[in-house]
Amino acid sequence: MLVLTDIRKSFGATVAVDGLSLRVGRGEVFGLLGPNGAGKSTTISIAIGLLPPDSGTVTLEGLGDPRHAAARRHIGVAPQALAIYDDLSAAENLLFIGRMYGIGHRALRGRVADLLELVGLTDRARDRAGTFSGGMKRRLNLAAAIVHEPPLVLLDEPTAGVDPQSRNNLLELVRTLRARGCTVLYTTHYMEEAQRLCDRVAIIDRGRVLAVGTVDELIARHGGRSVLTVTTDSGERRIETDDPLRELAGLMPGGGIANMRIDRPDLESVFLHLTGRLLRD
């Protein structure tokens, strides 16, 4: 669906994207996971044709060049900044965006009502967006990205700064989009979101893709071993192992285990192994 090949982009002496290549398959939720400043937003800007790359190519399979308006009609974007008008109501925001795509008045009314229902804002349809909580604004931001029912949706940090409940709502919305057949490119620096949501994930740092695969593949390849921690009468033991259950079973006959914990590798471990740094650094 979306193919980026050897993309490079610099701003003065700063290299934002450094030879980035990836392929997003039709109907999948693809995660771009990396810390702030890794080049995720620049990659999104290039993917939707807003920024020209210094080199490399962007291909929207079957849709054409994203720099052309005709191709952009098939893309929906929810920028990291809340791209909504505070002084317009929720419904007015969506109606305005719909008009930008030339959707007919009657069809647009029905679609806006459906979208407000989908993002749980029907009760607040006539209220100005400026009066909304952060989570509600994020949901409206996402609704504005899909008002024209695009087959490809790019979500740039869609859960930034929202409470856990709103985050769950937003993740559920992304699952709904996948169920409807949308392809989603999802950038985040929260590994839990990528783990819960994404079919495949690209670990990105300093403008480069470090690894690509399903969450399980990445963990298996780069996550390292599980850590079994047991507390006995003689103190606490920390054991790195590929099979923590078998290791635990081996310890059971000796008895005296007061407490135990298994830390399996996750995407945080993957990032740590690949970069020597934590995602939050």
Partner 1 sequence: MSFFRPILAIARKDLLLLLRDRINFFFTFFFPMIIGLFFGVIFAGGGSLPTIRVGVVDLDGSPASRAMAADLAATDGLSVQLIDAGGAPPDPAAAAARVRRGELAAVITLPKGFGAGMKSMLRGRGLAIEGVIDPTRKAQAGLLAGKLNELAFRQLSRVFEDPAQSREMIEGARADLRADREVDPVTRAAVEVLFSAIDGLARTNARRAGAARAGGAGNGFRPVEVQLKEVAADDRGPPHSFAITFPQAAVWGLLGCCVAFAVSLVQERSRGTLIRLLTAPVGRTQVMLAKALACFATAVTVQLLMMAIMAARVSPQSWTLLAVAVLCGAAAFTGIMMLLAVISKTEGGSAGVGRGALLLLAMFGGGSIPLQFMPDWMQAASSVSPFKWAILAMEGAIWRGYGASEMLLPCGVLLGFGAAGFGLGARVFRRTATSV
Residue ranges in contact with partner 1 by CB under 8 A:
41-42, 44-45, 48-52, 69-70, 72-73, 75, 77, 79-85, 87-88, 92, 96-97, 99-102, 144, 148, 156
Alpha-carbon gap, residue 83 to 191, rounded angstroms = 24
Phi and psi at residue 264, to the nearest 5° = -85, 155
Of 118, 183, 113, 116, residue with least CA distance to 155:
183
Closer residue to partner 1 in complex, CB, 103/219: 103
Q: Tell me the H-state helices in the chain.
A: 40-47, 69-72, 90-100, 105-118, 134-145, 164-179, 191-197, 215-222, 244-251, 267-275
Query: Are the beta carbons of 41 and 86 closer than 8 angstroms?
Result: no
Closer residue to partner 1 in complex, CB, 88/274: 88
CB of 187 to partner 1, least distance (A): 10
| Number of C-beta neighbours around residue 127 at 10 A | 14
CB of 113 to partner 1, least distance (A): 19
Query: Are the beta carbons of 218 and 201 closer than 8 angstroms?
Result: yes
CB of 156 to partner 1, least distance (A): 6
CB of 57 to partner 1, least distance (A): 18
Closer residue to partner 1 in complex, CB, 76/223: 76
Closer residue to partner 1 in complex, CB, 38/219: 38
Closer residue to partner 1 in complex, CB, 141/195: 141
CB of 92 to partner 1, least distance (A): 8
Of 30, 2, 40, 47, residue with least CA distance to 204:
40
